[in-house]
């Protein structure tokens, strides 16, 4: 019997701390040749798969935005459509991982493994978490069981769904978590999955086959004590086609902000209500000016347990792809 071939993976570099250098003062700076750093760890990666490295960009995670998302999505669709590629790993900055991962989760038409990873320390830093995260991401992407589960984020030995993953610590080498925990683990013995996403994604997403060259502007406003609607009005004046509210509690805002949100929702502007709370669903429970029940009756859509950042991503994609805004409530119930 012939030797079984190793999976063939594409390692796509977008930048992030993993590829950065330290200057003479210890500050992290963009490296001139970040892809050369990856070459140092390639032997460890190639134990698990045939890895081809591709430099897509070299930017911090904070620079990743809609214009880069759509270009990255286009490139990944090309890569994953090739019969000679079994899966892909994307390296990016931790600050851009949540939104980028969820955008790809909604819009990539594939069953092949697509794994995102990052690190809090660069490959050249002492005690870096980058080498292990890269190895673990490659191991997951090389595992057939990772296929069909949507976009995955792998860090610190844990496998998260793109829909759930959140950055919850600023500098710890284990900065990510998910409300329902990881989908699986990576350890010395192998890759182990214990559950899988039930909401629509990748191959089952209605957005995966849509041509995407741009995304509409959607702004995020935050509820806080004494908040009025000035920032919402400014966002609409700047061209926002929708508003996501990071509300308080289960989906409540001040009376002043509520009045503005209700007014614009009643005239057809999409308003999605999420919550600043780390866990739980935004839901229309309270009935008074600014309360969730009043917002829902005015036409605001509740984001279930999507974070404000992810609710914004879904609203942008839906506004670009849906033929009718009447489907927005359905979309937030299905994705």
To which residue do tokens 């506004």 refer? 319
Are the C-beta atoms of residues 64 and 92 closer than 8 Å to each other? yes
Burial class (CB in 10 A: 0-12, 13-18, 19+), 26: exposed
Catalytic residues: 17
Q: How many Å separate Cα 280 from the centre of its chain?
A: 18
Are the C-beta atoms of residues 305 and 179 closer than 8 Å to each other? yes
**Pairing relation of β-strands 50-59 and 8-15?**
parallel
Secondary element (H or E) of residue 247: strand 242-247
Secondary element (H or E) of residue 225: none
Distance CA 142, CA 275 (A): 36
Contacts of 129 (CB under 8 A, 6+ apart): 119, 120, 121, 155, 156, 173
């Amino acid at each position: 019997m012939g030797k079984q071939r190793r999976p063939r993976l594409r390692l796509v570099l977008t930048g992030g701390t993993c590829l950065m250098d330290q200057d003479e003062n210890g500050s992290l700076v963009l490296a001139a040749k970040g892809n050369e750093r990856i070459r140092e760890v390639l032997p460890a990666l190639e134990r698990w798969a045939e890895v081809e490295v591709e430099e897509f960009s070299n930017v911090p995670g904070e620079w990743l935005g809609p214009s880069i998302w759509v270009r990255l999505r286009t490139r990944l669709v090309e890569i994953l459509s090739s019969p000679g590629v079994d899966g892909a790993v994307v390296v990016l900055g931790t600050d851009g991982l949540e939104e980028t991962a969820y955008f790809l989760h909604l819009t990539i038409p594939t069953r092949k493994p697509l794994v995102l990873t990052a690190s809090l320390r660069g490959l050249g830093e002492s005690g870096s978490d980058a080498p292990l995260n890269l190895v673990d991401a490659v191991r997951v992407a090389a595992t057939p069981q990772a296929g069909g589960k949507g976009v995955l984020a792998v860090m610190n030995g844990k496998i998260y769904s793109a829909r759930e993953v959140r950055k919850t610590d600023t500098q710890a080498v284990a900065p990510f978590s998910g409300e329902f925990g990881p989908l699986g683990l990576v350890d010395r013995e192998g890759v182990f999955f214990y559950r899988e996403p039930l909401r629509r994604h990748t191959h089952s997403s209605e957005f995966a086959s849509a041509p995407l060259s741009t995304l509409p502007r959607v702004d995020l406003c935050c509820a806080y004590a004494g908040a009025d609607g000035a920032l919402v009005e400014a966002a609409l004046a700047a061209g926002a086609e929708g508003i996501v509210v990071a509300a308080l509690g289960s989906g409540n805002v001040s009376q002043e902000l509520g009045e503005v949100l209700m007014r614009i929702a009643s005239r057809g502007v999409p308003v999605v209500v999420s919550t600043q709370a780390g866990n739980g669903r935004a839901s229309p429970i309270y009935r008074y000016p600014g309360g969730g029940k009043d917002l829902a009756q005015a036409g605001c859509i509740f984001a279930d347990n999507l974070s404000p950042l992810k609710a914004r991503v879904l609203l942008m994609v839906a506004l670009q792809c849906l033929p009718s805004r009447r489907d927005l409530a359905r979309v937030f119930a299905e994705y």
